[in-house]
Amino acid sequence: MSVKEDVLRILNENKETYLSGAQIAEKLQISRTAVWKAVKSLNEEGYNILGMNKRGYKMSMGDDIISNEGIDKFLRKDVADAVQIETFKNISSTNTVLKQRAAEGEREWLILVAEEQTAGRGRMNRKFYSPSGTGIYISFLLRPKFLASESLMITTMAAVAVAETIDEILVQGSSLNQTTQIKWVNDIFYKGKKVCGILTEAAINVENYKLDYAIPGIGINVKAPEGGFPDEIKDIAGALIDDCDDKSVNDELRNRMIARLIEKMYDYYQNLEQKSFMKTYKEKSMLIGKTVYILDDETKEPLYVEGVTDRAELIVRHEDGTMENLQSGEVSVRLF
């Protein structure tokens, strides 16, 4: 751990309490100047550490900067021991960088998390808007042992893990009474707006048709960006929290959410073949009982959604009464 990380840890453990420079210096066996320098540089990174003559330094509540220490504080020990987390202030795209690392032979459960992406990517070659300080941009390196045809299970599992994390941390026990919904195949909606997208990328070993790696990349709009979302996405995109000044909600919110999301991904992945997440996936599927059309279908034939299969296919009824299972890799649907 660097001096900066050590100072951050101590201030974090003593939130809202002043610690003198001498106290911190003694705990860490460093000079008071080194403490002062570490605090200065942390504040430049966006932390909110107050310094008062004679009293020392304190970390205020309401800080919500993504950091390894912040995540570790909330992460279950067995999971913390099994994963390797790297946090970035900014990055091109957590998926792009993790794909490179995967190709270089990195271990399973390397997780990259960023405060900001400068080249965030979405499905169908779209860009993913990833401003600083408001979202969670996270990618997981997995090396599943199953056939590539099963890879949709990773995306489905991730969608449920995100939806449950949001419900547990933000909705349950609060005055917010709506829970998240999943729009087939892997968009998370909250109060009618898309608050999370998932892009899973994989490499296949052509000798055995097994996956070499799968990288589910998750982008969550936690807080509304200042000035709102850009025009191109403002009708569809939403954030979980509109009031960014609410300190009680904000306190380390994103670190808490990241830790819970990692735990859920980890637990579901251990028993992936049991597909225990499919029950929640079906319950939360917002298209069931609705009428949709296939995006590329010029006739826009109305299709009634009857349900979702255990393989995450959408069960639809055509106008003539025939049934069909739609696969997400092949089609995209829109609500009528």
Which residues make Cβ contacts (< 8 Å) with residue 325, sequence separation at least 6? 309, 313, 314, 315, 316
Residue 84 near residue 107, CB atoms below 8 Å: yes
Q: Say if CB 92 and CB 100 are below 8 A apart.
A: no
What is the closest distance, in whole angstroms, from the C-beta atom of residue 185 to ligand BTN in the complex? 11
Q: Is residue 219 involved in binding ligand BTN (CB under 6 A)? A: yes
**Residue position matching structure tokens 């860490």:** 28
- Segment interacting with ligand BTN, rule: CB under 6 A, options 27-35, 117-125, 246-254, 303-311: 117-125
- CA angle centred on 148, ends 274 and 93, rounded to 5°: 100
How far apart CA 173 and CA 177 sit, in angstroms, is: 9
Which residue, 237, 226, 248, is CA-closest to 175? 248
Instruction: Please report whether residue 21 would count as binding ligand BTN according to CB under 6 A.
Output: no
State yes or no: residue 264 binds ligand BTN (CB under 6 A): no
Q: How far is the CB of 53 from ligand BTN (least distance, A)?
A: 43
By the rule CB under 6 A, 193 interacts with ligand BTN: no
> Closest CB to ligand BTN among 70 and 135?
135
The residue range among 21-29, 121-129, 141-149, 258-266 that interacts with ligand BTN, by the rule CB under 6 A, is 121-129
Distance (Å, rounded) from C-alpha 302 to C-alpha 234?
A: 26
Task: Look at residue 51 and give its three-state secondary structure.
Answer: strand
Give 243-289 as a DSSP string: -TT-HHHHTTHHHHHHHHHHHHHHHHHHTGGG-TTHHHHHHTBTTTT
Distance, in Å, from the CA atom of 204 to the CA atom of 210, rounded to the nearest integer, reads: 6
Among residues 58, 99, 101, 121, the one that binds ligand BTN under rule CB under 6 A: 121
Q: Smallest distance, Å, CB 268 to ligand BTN?
A: 18
Q: Which positions from 80 through 109 interact with ligand BTN, judged by CB under 6 A?
A: 93-95
* Residues between 132 and 161 with contacts to ligand BTN, criterion CB under 6 A: 137-139
Q: Toward ligand BTN, which CB reaches closer, 42 or 114?
A: 114
Backbone angles phi, psi at 171, to 5 degrees: -100, -50
Work out how close the CB of 137 gets to ligand BTN at its nearest, in angstroms, rounded to a whole number: 4
Nearest-angstrom CA–CA distance, 329 and 220: 22
Minimum distance, C-beta of residue 89 to ligand BTN, in the bound complex (Å):
15
Pairing outcome for strands 291-294 and 56-59:
unpaired
Q: Please select the residue that binds ligand BTN; options are 10, 198, 211, 253, rule is CB under 6 A.
A: 198
Q: Give the shortest CB-165-to-ligand BTN separation in angstroms.
A: 15
Kindly state whether residue 197 participates in binding ligand BTN, applying the rule CB under 6 A.
Answer: yes
Spatial CB neighbours of 17, under 8 Å, sequence gap ≥ 6: 58
Least spacing, CB of residue 194 vs ligand BTN, in Å: 7
* Residue nearer to ligand BTN on the CB measure, 94 or 328: 94
Residue showing tokens 């003198």? 20
Of the residues 158, 217, 249, 316, which one makes contact with ligand BTN according to CB under 6 A: 217
3-class SS at 203? strand
Residue 121 vs 223, nearer CB to ligand BTN: 121
Q: Which is nearer to ligand BTN, 137 or 269 (CB)?
A: 137
Q: Is 202 in the site for ligand BTN (CB under 6 A)?
A: no
Coil, helix or strand at residue 220 = strand
Is there binding between residue 117 and ligand BTN (CB under 6 A)? yes
Residue numbers of the site for ligand BTN (CB under 6 A)? Answer: 93-95, 117, 120-123, 126, 128, 137-139, 197-199, 217-219
